[in-house]
Amino acid sequence: MKKFLLACACVGSLALSSTQSVNAQTMVTQSFQDFMISDPYYGGETMGATGYFQHVSSNGKYAVGYDDSQINFQLGGAFLWQASDPTELTPLGLTYNRISACDVSNDGIIVGSFEQREDEETNAVAYPGWCTVDGEWQQLPVPANYSISQATDEDFTAEARAITADGKYIVGNLGLKVGEKEILEGNKVEILRDAPVVWEKQGDSYVISAVYDQLGQAGKNKLYVDGELVEQADSVTFTQFLVNDVSDDGKTIVGVNVAGTGGFNPAFIRDGELVQLFNCGEEEDNEGEEEDETTNFNGGHIFSIDAEGNMYGYYVDADANQMYFVYTADGKLEYTDDLYTCGANGKRFKRAEQGLNPAYCCSADGKVIAGGGMATDEITGYDYNYPIICYDEAVTSVNKIDNIRKNVNVKFAGRNLVYITGEYSSADVYAADGTLVSRVGQGTPVNLSGRSAGTYVVKVQTADGEKTFKVAK
């Protein structure tokens, strides 16, 4: 679904705007088009990073993304950026064949999805999940009617899509089984509803706090009409609500409501109530016509909500015009000449900003903007996205980047993988008893699968001599 979103976002002209923007002279643009990730799942093969950044933490310390086009499907494409090491990307969970990273909190809680399988003979099942920047993925609880058949599809159908800045609430989309229908004699298929789910942190884990599988009921939905939100007496057709973002207090979820006729209606959920800014896909009774005519403008999306409560999005009207808007915190709909995808401290960031296309998200102070770019593969001729991030020099102490790239560090990811960053020639890994268990070269991670739990010593050969690290499995 995100691929549709980005394709639509590219339509229309992007004129200059008088809206305040960041000081370009203090911003550094970091492209990862040529950044290579080593994939131990496929024998250590290195592949270019594809996809784009989905979200930046409110404090600007982290950004995460993944490849939802599945160009590098075996890689999963999920990656982490950290302001402390701004020229590097850290892969997230390459031991999983399918993985996404959609958002990250201020203290480094990453949310997305990952697959699990009992063995190579069984189908993998994707579950919504979370992890810390240096920890393993944890499964989020799912309702009893969670659709396993949908979760086995080769797509990111079950995801934790957004997390509040403080990490208290997680919001995502789950395919829920609401019935069955017979398509052929003896053959039944599930009737599914893609509903938003809210998880709340309790202690060191998360529990389900809300399942919005009955959105749009009469008296519980509103439509923006002539400057006001008007309560609707009739129920709204609801088949899907796709989550894009959540407010810092967890009370407002923004995205799109997919109507029964297929219209994509920019909408948000507040206090369990569905609010649609535009009705792009319901049926209208046209006088003089023999039958009701379906009006489907193909709609749009609300991309994000900023710390002040402003929402940013677009829709396509009946004449196929791309209309850009900001729904302000005080409930006013502003039409704009440019498509804005996020905002911070009174600034609005256009879809094309600081060399990003799209610029998809930003920190609360506007000093970190993340998204992607688009290029064409010379061999296949296909277009693909690659991650790009822009940041203020003060955020990362950019004058120290050269030293950062040279400095060697060891990071343990998941149960088995040890990543070595920086400049070095080789690395030897020893068990606690002094036995050499692995020797790798520059850029190759250490795979400790099949090794017993315990402490391992990593000796890294650099131009300045040997450096020693300890990692615990």
- pLDDT at 420 (0 to 100): 79
Nearest CA-CA partner of 81 in 67, 61, 109: 61
Nearest CA-CA partner of 65 in 87, 83, 50: 50
CB 275 within 8 A of CB 266: no
Is residue 263 predicted with pLDDT exceeding 70? yes
For residue 114 the two structure tokens come to 């990952």
Is residue 388 predicted with pLDDT exceeding 70? yes
- pLDDT at 207 (0 to 100): 97
Q: 123 and 266: one domain?
A: yes
Distance CA 368, CA 29 (A): 10
Least confident of 6-15, 138-147, 293-302, 463-472: 6-15
**CATH number where 105 lies:** 2.130.10
Half-sphere exposure of 361 (CA within 13 A, CB side): 26
- pLDDT at 332 (0 to 100): 93
Nearest CA-CA partner of 267 in 307, 338, 275: 275
Q: 372 and 444: one domain?
A: no
Give mean pLDDT, residues 201-213: 94
CB 436 within 8 A of CB 442: no
- pLDDT at 7 (0 to 100): 36
Q: 309 and 443: one domain?
A: no
Give mean pLDDT, residues 261-273: 86
Q: 404 and 439: one domain?
A: no
Higher pLDDT, 62 or 412: 62
Question: pLDDT per residue over 291-301, tens digit each?
Answer: 444 444 567 89
Q: Which of 412, 428, 462 is the last residue of a domain?
A: 412
Cα end-to-end distance, the chain, whole Å: 38
Q: pLDDT class for 424, splitting at 50, 70, 90?
A: confident
Strand partners, 200: 169, 207
Q: 330 and 345: one domain?
A: yes
Hunting for tokens 């090794």 — which residue is that?
Answer: 451
Is residue 6 predicted with pLDDT exceeding 50? no
Cis peptide before 358 (omega within 30 of 0): yes
Mean per-residue pLDDT over the chain, rounded: 79
H runs (alpha helix) in 104-256: 148-151
CB 137 within 8 A of CB 129: yes
- pLDDT at 238 (0 to 100): 76
Beta-carbon contacts of 218 under 8 Å, excluding residues fewer than 6 positions away, are 232, 233, 234, 235
φ/ψ region of 444 (left if φ > 0, alpha if ψ in -120 to 50, else beta) reads beta
Question: pLDDT per residue over 306-355, tens digit each?
Answer: 999 999 999 887 778 889 999 999 999 999 999 999 999 889 999 998 88
Give mean pLDDT, residues 85-89: 88
- pLDDT at 11 (0 to 100): 34
Q: 430 and 325: one domain?
A: no
Q: 237 and 384: one domain?
A: yes
- pLDDT at 188 (0 to 100): 76
- pLDDT at 51 (0 to 100): 86
Q: 390 and 408: one domain?
A: yes
Q: pLDDT class for 412, splitting at 50, 70, 90?
A: low
Domain containing 332 equals 2-412
Distance CA 159, CA 244 (A): 11
Q: Which of 364, 385, 412 is the last residue of a domain?
A: 412
- pLDDT at 359 (0 to 100): 93
Q: 448 and 406: one domain?
A: no
Is residue 287 predicted with pLDDT exceeding 70? no
Higher pLDDT, 294 or 179: 179
Least confident of 97-111, 214-228, 361-375, 377-391: 377-391
DSSP for residue 35 = -
Higher pLDDT, 67 or 255: 255
Q: Which residues of 279-308 are buried (b: 16+ CB within 10 A; e: fewer)?
A: bbbbbeeeeeeeeeeebbbebbbbbbbbbe
Question: pLDDT per residue over 122-133, tens digit each?
Answer: 667 778 999 998
Hunting for tokens 């404090």 — which residue is that?
Answer: 59
Q: 332 and 445: one domain?
A: no
What is the side-by-side strand order in the sheet with 322-327?
Answer: 300-305, 311-316, 322-327, 333-336
Higher pLDDT, 57 or 379: 57
**CATH number where 437 lies:** 2.60.40.1220
Distance CA 268, CA 333 (A): 14
Q: 312 and 402: one domain?
A: yes
Distance CA 39, CA 50 (A): 13
φ/ψ region of 60 (left if φ > 0, alpha if ψ in -120 to 50, else beta) reads left
Higher pLDDT, 137 or 57: 57
pTM above 0.85, yes or no: no
Q: Which of 391, 412, 433 is the last residue of a domain?
A: 412
Least confident of 28-37, 200-209, 412-421: 412-421
Report CA-CA distances (Å) from 163 to 1, 23, 203, 206.
19, 28, 16, 12
Q: 339 and 465: one domain?
A: no
Task: Provide the percentage of residues in the chain whose pLDDT is more than 90.
Answer: 36
Is residue 5 predicted with pLDDT exceeding 70? no
Q: pLDDT class for 21, splitting at 50, 70, 90?
A: very low
Give mean pLDDT, residues 73-93: 78
Give mean pLDDT, residues 448-460: 84
- pLDDT at 76 (0 to 100): 47
Hunting for tokens 């809680």 — which residue is that?
Answer: 109
Nearest CA-CA partner of 316 in 306, 325, 308, 307: 325
Report CA-CA distances (Å) from 150 to 158, 165, 201, 229.
8, 30, 26, 35
Higher pLDDT, 159 or 305: 305
State how many domains the chain has.
2
Is residue 39 predicted with pLDDT exceeding 60? no
Q: pLDDT class for 3, splitting at 50, 70, 90?
A: very low
- pLDDT at 210 (0 to 100): 94
Least confident of 24-28, 197-201, 239-243: 24-28
- pLDDT at 293 (0 to 100): 46
